[in-house]
């Protein structure tokens, strides 16, 4: 037997016990003739004490960091206790030990505050994984996984695996493809999600399916994306949107309870996509704080009907606002005393290329009831007050105003709101606010191709009332500049996203389950009948054999873990992640393959560089 106990479990109760431990040498400290070793394993650290009598053996077998050591000895109470450690009240007086394996000096210290940089730690990920901080993240991940599985199992969901080698049907992201040796010239794709399989399982009658499953998308990696990531993927039959929202609200609440000990108190808030865009400029609003966007100029877009505020800024000679498609304001609480330096800094912030605005207008709502603005010249005090009131500003607040093209301005104001929320400490790490965003548009306009694409995916059902709009109108867009006037722009989907603290953690929809409607959907996306048959004939065919009404959702498992763990990066919660260029620097993958492999695949490389 290699060990009788782990390095995390011995306490005063074990004093006088004979034990054997096995683990890694964290530190070796010599005090005169005595040697102390901190021995680490997955469960903790135990102090070993080597008396003088062992010195000849230690001299013959010097211990180094990360050596794998087995030590036998007796537990005794420590004189110098360490309250930080679970095992801090005891130590083991070693009587006998064996070096099970030596280690070369690790390239960084295996400690919470390691001296290793990101790249080095990625290269030696197996060592990084020994660190407590990383281990805690993986433990949290496993806890979320267990909690989800328990909940889903208790609710009659069945875990069913679906294949990884499938047919390439890119819609949305790019597929990763895999050449087939046995079918030369043909390729599999790795699934972007098990979407069509879970729908087929519904046709097969497995009315509650789930899978914690890898998905693969060959996208350019923005900061927090991985080419392979994990979803908690679910599908249910005989359900309407309300059933799905309730079931999966329950799932997330259960995870909060099991993993964080939090009783999520309320019913999860709900907001339509239009309201989210209108009030927060964003389809995944962080509702931990207010500071909502106020449209102070009538918008021209789909939101035109939302504007109930009077026109507040046009027609007084301030060209910037007169010319702008959109003018948006937010009221930042308690910041009326910002100095010139601070407002200049904010102006620079909105002018950064990532935000892309030309400038920033502000109104200081002074506590004495006066108003001071960078556009005093154009707007008399009553008008400044009217704008400030519309934005919901109180005395002591600072109103920030951005103007320009609608989409960009909305996005920029949303970013500015989040930034101010962060600076003012309103985005608290330990506060969790869930939100369902509902009624997404079914279609999105793809400018480059001048056609409609599915905003969620092509299997999402339109709202029942909107089905005739889809069926009775041609998808053709005659005038690209006026695509918003096309009837398709207003078709809403039976689709929903779950948002947590400003992050989309899950999304899904009620599906189309009739062949003819699905065919119409493919046609609306610009596919010919031959193309839809070639790509999705299997699904269209299946819909003819008794497909039940169904719908589902998938949660981004990595992201959910990172938010629950209070981290910005999903990479911290993945055992072996890729870097920002999609490389595994530990394996040095992707890499070239042998000529023999190319020959077997009957593939010739013709690289363009
Ligand atoms: N398969 C979808 C996705 O990956 C989720 C769903 O509709 O269930 O986004």
Mind giving me the DSSP string for 99-123? EEE--PPPSS--STT-S--HHHHHH
For ligand 1, is residue 331 a contact (CB within 6 Å)? no
177 vs 186: CA distance, rounded Å: 10
The whole-number pLDDT of residue 608 equals 83
> What separation in Å is there between the alpha carbon of 194 and the centre of ligand 1?
8
Which residues 6+ apart lie within 8 Å of 360 measured at CB? 343, 346, 347, 350, 351, 374, 400, 401, 402
DSSP 336-375: TT--HHHHHHHHHHHHSTTT--S--EEEEE-TTS-EEETT
Calculate helix-pair angle for 557-564, 132-154, nearest 10 degrees. Answer: 120
What pLDDT, on the 0 to 100 scale, is given for residue 306? 67
Q: What is the mean pLDDT of residues 389-405?
A: 96
Q: Which atom of ligand 1 lies closest to the CA of 231? A: 4
518 touches ligand 1 (CB under 6 Å): no
Q: What pLDDT was estimated at residue 307?
A: 64
Give the pLDDT confidence score for residue 309 in this predicted structure: 64
Q: Strand ranges (DSSP E) for 250-297?
A: 269-272, 294-295
- The alpha carbon of 451 and the centre of ligand 1 are apart by a number of angstroms equal to 22
CB 554 near ligand 1, within 6 Å:
yes
Average pLDDT, rounded, for the chain: 94
* Confidence bin at 116 (pLDDT 50/70/90): confident
Cα 582 to ligand 1 centre (Å): 22
* Protein residue closest via CA to atom 8 of ligand 1: 553
552 touches ligand 1 (CB under 6 Å): yes
Atom index in ligand 1 nearest the CA of residue 552 equals: 8
Distance 72 CA to ligand 1 centre (A): 53
Return the higher-pLDDT residue of 116 and 96. 96
Q: What is the mean pLDDT of residues 394-416?
A: 96
What pLDDT shows up at residue 61?
86
Contact 66, 37 (CB under 8 A): no
Q: For residue 117, what pLDDT is reported?
A: 87
Question: Domains in the chain, please, with CATH?
Answer: 12-101 (2.40.50.140), 133-265+555-597 (3.30.930.10), 289-427 (3.30.1360.30), 441-492+514-547 (no CATH)
Which range, of 304-313, 397-406, 478-487, averages the lowest pLDDT?
A: 304-313
CA of 507 to the centre of ligand 1 (A): 6
The rounded Å distance from CA 409 to ligand 1 centre is 29
Name the closest-CA residue to atom 1, ligand 1. 195
Per-residue pLDDT reduced to its tens digit, 337-363: 999 999 999 999 999 999 999 999 999
509 C-beta closer than 6 A to ligand 1: yes
| Smallest CA separation from ligand 1 atom 7, residue | 508
**Span from the CA of 151 to the centroid of ligand 1 (angstroms):** 20
With a 6 A CB cut-off, is 195 part of the ligand 1 pocket? yes
Residue pair 309/293 in contact by the 8 Å Cβ criterion: no
Reading phi first (left if > 0) and then psi (alpha if -120 to 50, else beta), residue 597 is in alpha
> Which letter, b or e, does each residue of 447-456 get, where b requires 16 or more Cβ atoms within 10 Å of its Cβ?
eeeebbbbbb
145/599 Cα distance (integer angstroms): 42
Say whether pLDDT at 568 is over 70: yes
pLDDT at 387 over 80: yes
What strands, in cross-sheet order, belong to the sheet with 398-404?
294-295, 326-332, 398-404, 361-365, 371-373
Q: What is the mean pLDDT of residues 21-40?
A: 96
Residue position matching structure tokens 């339509």:
272
Give the span between the Cα atoms of 548 and 545, in whole angstroms.
10
Please state, in angstroms and rounded to a whole number, the distance separating the CA atoms of residues 112 and 114: 6
The residue-averaged pLDDT of 166-176 equals 86
Handedness of CA 28, 29, 32, 35 (dihedral sign): negative
Q: What predicted TM-score, i.e. pTM, was given to this entire model?
A: 0.94
- The model's confidence at residue 304, banded by pLDDT at 50, 70 and 90, is low
Measured in Å, residue 211 CA sits from the centre of ligand 1 at 12
**Per residue in 486-525, pLDDT tens?**
999 999 999 999 999 999 999 999 999 999 999 999 999 9
Q: Which residue has the higher pLDDT, 301 or 258?
A: 258
Name the residue with the closest Cα to ligand 1, atom 4: 193
Element (H, E) at 210: strand 208-216
Is a pLDDT exceeding 70 seen at residue 175? Answer: yes
Phi-psi region of 172 (alpha: psi -120 to 50; beta: other; left: phi over 0): left
Q: How far is the CA of 191 from the centre of ligand 1 (A)?
A: 11
C-alpha gyration radius of the chain:
30
Residue to mutate (ligand 1; options 172, 198, 213, 554; most atoms within 8 A of CB): 554
**Residue 509 alpha carbon to ligand 1 centre in Å:** 8
């Amino acid at each position: 037997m290699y060990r009788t106990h782990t390095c995390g479990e011995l306490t005063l109760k074990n004093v006088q016990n004979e034990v054997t431990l096995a683990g890694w040498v964290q530190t070796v400290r010599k005090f005169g003739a005595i040697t102390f070793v901190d021995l680490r394993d997955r469960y903790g650290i135990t102090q070993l004490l080597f008396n003088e009598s062992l010195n000849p053996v230690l001299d013959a077998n010097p211990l180094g960091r990360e050596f794998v050591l087995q030590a036998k000895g007796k537990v005794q109470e420590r004189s110098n206790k360490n309250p930080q450690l679970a095992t801090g009240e005891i130590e083991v007086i070693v009587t006998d030990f064996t070096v099970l394996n030596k280690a070369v000096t690790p390239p960084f210290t295996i400690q919470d505050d390691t001296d290793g940089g990101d790249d080095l730690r990625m290269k030696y990920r197996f060592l990084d994984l020994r660190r407590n901080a990383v281990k805690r993240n993986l433990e949290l991940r496993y806890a979320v996984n267990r909690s989800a599985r328990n909940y889903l199992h208790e609710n009659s969901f069945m875990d069913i695996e679906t294949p990884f080698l499938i047919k390439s049907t890119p819609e949305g992201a790019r597929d990763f493809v895999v050449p087939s040796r046995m079918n030369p010239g043909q390729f599999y794709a790795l699934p972007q999600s098990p979407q069509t399989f879970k729908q087929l399982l519904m046709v097969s009658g497995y009315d509650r399916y789930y899978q914690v499953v890898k998905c693969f998308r060959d996208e350019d990696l923005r900061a927090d994306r991985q080419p392979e990531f994990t979803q908690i993927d679910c599908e249910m039959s005989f359900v309407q949107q309300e059933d799905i929202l309730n079931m999966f609200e329950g799932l997330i609440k259960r995870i909060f309870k099991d993993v964080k000990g939090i009783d999520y108190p309320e019913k999860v808030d709900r907001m339509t996509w239009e309201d989210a865009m209108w009030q927060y400029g964003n389809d995944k609003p962080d509702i931990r704080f207010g500071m909502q966007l106020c449209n102070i100029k009538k918008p021209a877009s789909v939101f035109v009907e939302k504007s109930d505020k009077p026109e507040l800024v046009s027609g007084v000679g301030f060209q910037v606002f007169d010319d702008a498609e959109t003018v948006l304001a937010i009221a930042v609480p308690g910041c009326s005393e910002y100095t010139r330096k601070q407002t200049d800094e904010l102006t620079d912030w909105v002018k950064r290329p990532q935000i892309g605005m030309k400038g920033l207008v502000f109104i200081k709502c002074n506590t004495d009831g006066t108003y001071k603005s960078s556009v005093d010249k154009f707007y008399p005090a009553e008008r400044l007050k009217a704008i400030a009131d519309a934005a919901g500003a109180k005395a002591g607040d600072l109103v920030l105003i951005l103007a320009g093209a609608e989409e960009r301005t909305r996005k920029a104001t949303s970013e500015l709101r989040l930034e101010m929320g962060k600076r003012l400490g309103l985005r608290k790490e330990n506060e969790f606010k869930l939100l369902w965003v509902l009624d997404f548009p079914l279609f999105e306009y793809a400018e480059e191709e001048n056609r409609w694409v599915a905003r969620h995916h092509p299997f999402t059902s339109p709202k029942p009332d909107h089905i005739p709009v889809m069926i009775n109108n041609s998808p053709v867009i005659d005038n690209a500049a006026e695509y918003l006037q096309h009837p398709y722009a207003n078709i809403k989907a039976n689709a929903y996203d779950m948002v947590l603290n400003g992050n989309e953690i899950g999304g899904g929809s009620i599906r189309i389950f009739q062949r003819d409607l699905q065919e119409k959907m493919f046609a609306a996306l610009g596919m010919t009948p031959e193309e839809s048959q070639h790509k999705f004939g299997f699904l269209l065919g299946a819909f003819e054999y008794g497909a039940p009404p169904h719908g589902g959702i998938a949660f981004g498992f990595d992201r959910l873990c990172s938010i629950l763990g209070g981290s910005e990066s999903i990479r911290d919660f993945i055992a072996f992640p890729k870097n920002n260029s999609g490389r595994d620097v530990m394996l040095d993958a992707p890499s070239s393959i042998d000529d023999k492999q190319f020959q077997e695949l009957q593939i010739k490389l013709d690289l363009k560089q």
